[in-house]
Chains A and B, each alone.
Chain A
Amino acid sequence: MSGSEFLAARARLFVQIDIASEVIAPLWPLSTSIAVNPLWDLRKMSFNEAIDYAGQVLGITGYPSAEMFKTSYLNQRITDIDIRASINSCTTNGNHRRSPERENPDYGKEKILTAAERGDLILGTNIATTTDREVAKWCAAYVAGIMTTQPHGRFYSAWLDVIATDPAARRLLGKNGRNRLAQSPVHPEDSILESLELLGVREDERICELSRQLARMPGWAGHAKWRSRWASHNHPGPALQLVDYLAVRLSYDAHLVDSASTGRNQLRLEKGNLDQDYSGTEDHRQMQSSPENYYMTEMPEEIRNHLSGLSSAETARIWLGAYESNYRDQILSKLAVAKPNHKPDPTVQAVFCIDPRSEVIRRHLEAKGPYETFGFAGFFGLPIHYQSWGSAEGADLCPVLIQPNAIMVEKPITGDGETALKQVQGRQGLAAISDMFTFARKGVLSSFILAEASGFVAGLIAIVKTLFPSRYERVRASANRMLVPSVTTTIDTNPKNGGMSDEAQALYAETALTTMGLTENFAPVVLLCGHGSSTENNPYASALDCGACGGNRGGASARAAATILNRVVTRKLLSDRGIIVPKSTIFLAAEHDTANDTVTLFDSNLIPPTQLDIIANLKQDLNRVRTTMAAERIPKLPGSKSRNPVAEGIFRSADWAQVQPEWGLARNAAMIIGSRRITAGINLEGRCFLHSYDSATDTDGFALETILTAPMVVAHWINAQYYFSTVDSNVYCAGDKTIHNIVGGIGVVQGVGGDLRLGLPKQSLFDKNQPFHEPMRLLTIVEAPQNLLDTVIKRNPVLRQLFDGEWVNLAARENENENWKLRKPGGSWISWIRNDRNDPTEG
């Protein structure tokens, strides 16, 4: 090939890898782990088609188990009415039109295999699993920083450097085979092309081959995808790229197959022969579950007759639709009877994140006094990179769909320089001790000395920490305060220091206030309340923090937003735009700790004397909220004693052996976009994302478009992550926390090695072995004019994909005088009929 042909071949390969990786979910590092729809890049297909395809490549089932549906039917969580409604809906949507090949109830699609997997079937070898084992070993070594000696060395080149002396490669391939492996091309792209050639994979077969290669270990592939397609270019740490990962995988496959077979031609079997060989394997049988599993003798005959002849997947879709329809009817019924709960002249307007856990605190707070609450994405509309005082590293406080566009730095207020200096020195001292301890712990000889020297003290600490976690936490906090004195700080928004211009600050402030529908009638205090979760010894801690803040705590975002909204120049620019915030109104930041039910108020030094009484009352009420909220939340936790819910919340939060400190977002089911008037006073059981919205102030649909294309997408990701982690726990659930080992700070493996685990841990979803989470697709409920919704959906392909592809279900009404309508794929609407959901009529 000429030089330009080489370049063209590499370019085509690059794109083929990208397309092949669509079936893989990106896996964020633990420190910023966020929920993601694992099939997000397949959303150009419908939900059902994507599951079919992922089933072929990854072996997922994609739907709740027959056992779960049967249990739900027996306890009336699914009724005959729901099943009939679902059959009706699926028929309308064409989800189970019977094609000739589907007359066979055992119809199932052929699983996609790699060339090496086909080779294993033909040759009786274990090449694919051997490749998995070796590649996982090298990936773990690479991300832990113990493989490469070059600062920015890539994975493939680091592997090439060491493979020539690897004893395992010699055992597998012999000395000559190992030498040939070590002589693989220098460029990873060329290596992949050579391996594909050796394996006899034609160009038109590449995407299938590469997809399945990635699907063999979706955890490591997911990490590589995150690094290649989501991480910023300057993200620190070893960069495991997709192309390098595939180059190493395919090198092993090609050389192992070559060593085991007489040549590539042996792998190019006729498809029929291979299917015959493959049909007897356990893996293949698992893909074709029998439709009888979904039948129940208790069902009415007409339902059984209808379901007969459908494949298992088609039957599961009907069951899923029934399961969702039951919840949808319950919640729409609740909302239909909602009474206006407008509070005249609230003393505090509190803005919480849309996170479902905020629904609980909002309900309890409103019940305690003259408080009005709002829901808005927890980064308060400010996409910033935030650096706390004295910290060397910052964090991106925004959803991963956007990049931060400003840097905001926390700094001590003028006049508190001496305390600030003491604080920095204290933190540096603690960090130095921690570094020294870590260094000694990892050293070959020093680890023994360390155990002898400090074992007694460390052992005592461990005993106290285990038996009395709350007390230990109090002592630790006191010691910390002594060594690191607190300092009064502020957040620097100045553009000269990386912040934003006055105009930009005003624009973000205007957008936030307009989008949440708070543009007039401001209370004396507007509380901006972020959230975070304090847990101990929890690799998945960030999954309990704020998703809208990129898996970080939300207090800093609240502080930054309050700082901007309190600036005189922002108020002036806002008034030029028609939003008049009274001089007497103060924006105050706070943070809700979802693990122990506390709310911390920040920047108390800014509170003017006129608002001191209001804040004192608010603090008292927040204490009362804590008691009632804990009484609602704690008894639902596994193993709860519930004698003193507040104390138990503190205990669980501080307990380093606790694997279920809180339920997080489990049981999330719906997102409600509209005024609090719709939901006020209704117990939504912490299952709904609540976003404030007022269509009267949004004539062009800009705010609605912003909400649907960002917060709703994030809510859908969270919902889909919980869904797939529950229904396909073998692939998309991180498994049991008690046997997790952290690898390189980026993920966990179960036991000693293997693939990185995807998704949420089992303890976030299951109560013992029963699912606590109810796997359903997100139901988005919007109060807005139908034509406005249609316009916004029409002009945004991502929304068309989500609603037309049935990834998200949509219900809407223009105002409380109208009935809810349900959007069908393609854009038509049908009226939702309360009490007779068997017969929806055209709207």
Chain B
Amino acid sequence: MNNIWDLTQMTKVEIVISGEDMPVIVELLSEVGATGFTALSNVSGLGHSGYHQGRLLFNDRNALTMLTVVLPGERATALINGIRPLLSDRSGVLFVSDTWVSRPEYFR
């Protein structure tokens, strides 16, 4: 892919986590040097604790948030090092995949 489109490989980390855990995740992202992220609050879907409607009107802290971040490999490793123990204590899921970006300098 890199050869065809001249893209740079990065690691994409997606996390679905309770809104009240967002502050620590955001701090963690800053700690490992992530330069940006995308967050979707009040997401819905089916998980091991049942179906989440994603429509809590007056409680952002107990609604689910989905967060996507793209980082160079070594920073992703550091991030995952932090998130895994958090997920052993709190509910949530983590997805890690390879991705390619066109402007790698934005992510370093």
Q: Which residues of A contact B (CB under 8 A)?
A: 3-4, 7-8, 10-12, 14-16, 18-19, 189, 228-230, 377, 381, 383, 398-399, 401-403, 511, 702, 705-706, 709-711, 713, 794-798
Contact = CB atoms under 8 A, between A and B. Distances in A.
Interface of B: 20, 23-24, 27-28, 31-33, 49-53, 55-62, 74-75, 77-79, 81-83, 85-86, 89, 91
Contacts of B86: 15, 18-19
B91 A797 contact: yes
A228 B26 CA distance: 11
B31 A399 contact: no
Contact of B58 (A10, A18, A399, A798): A399
Contacts of A398: 58
Nearest to B33: A7
Main secondary structure of the interface of A (DSSP, over half): helix
Contacts of A14: 24, 27-28, 31, 82
A383 B52 CA distance: 23
B35 to A, nearest CB: 14
B83 A401 contact: no
A511 to B, nearest CB: 6
Contacts of B85: 12, 15-16, 19
B51 A795 contact: yes
Contacts of B61: 401-402
Nearest to A41: B20
Nearest to A13: B82
Nearest to A709: B59
B58 A8 contact: no
Nearest to A399: B58
Given A7-B75, A8-B81, A710-B58, 19 more contacts: A10-B31, A11-B31, A11-B81, A12-B81, A12-B82, A15-B83, A19-B89, A189-B31, A381-B57, A381-B58, A398-B58, A399-B58, A705-B56, A710-B56, A710-B57, A710-B59, A795-B53, A796-B56, A797-B49
A4 B58 contact: no
A15 B28 contact: yes
Contacts of B20: 229
B24 to A, nearest CB: 4
A709 B55 contact: no
A228 B27 contact: yes
A383 B56 CA distance: 13
Contacts of B74: 3-4, 7
Contacts of B32: 7, 10-11
Most buried by B among A3, A228, A229, A511: A229
Given A8-B78, A15-B86, A19-B89, A229 B23 contact: yes
Most buried by B among A11, A189, A709, A794: A11
Contacts of B53: 705, 795
Contacts of A796: 56, 62
Given A7-B75, A795-B50, A795-B53, A403 B60 contact: yes
Given A10-B31, A14-B31, A797-B49, A401 B58 contact: yes
A795 B52 contact: yes
B27 A4 contact: no
Contacts of B60: 401-403
Contact of B77 (A4, A10, A794, A798): A4
Contacts of A710: 56-59
A230 B19 CA distance: 11
Nearest to B55: A702
A34 B75 CA distance: 38
Contacts of A383: 58
Nearest to B73: A4
Nearest to B23: A229
Contacts of A229: 20, 23-24
Given A8-B77, A795-B53, A401 B59 contact: yes
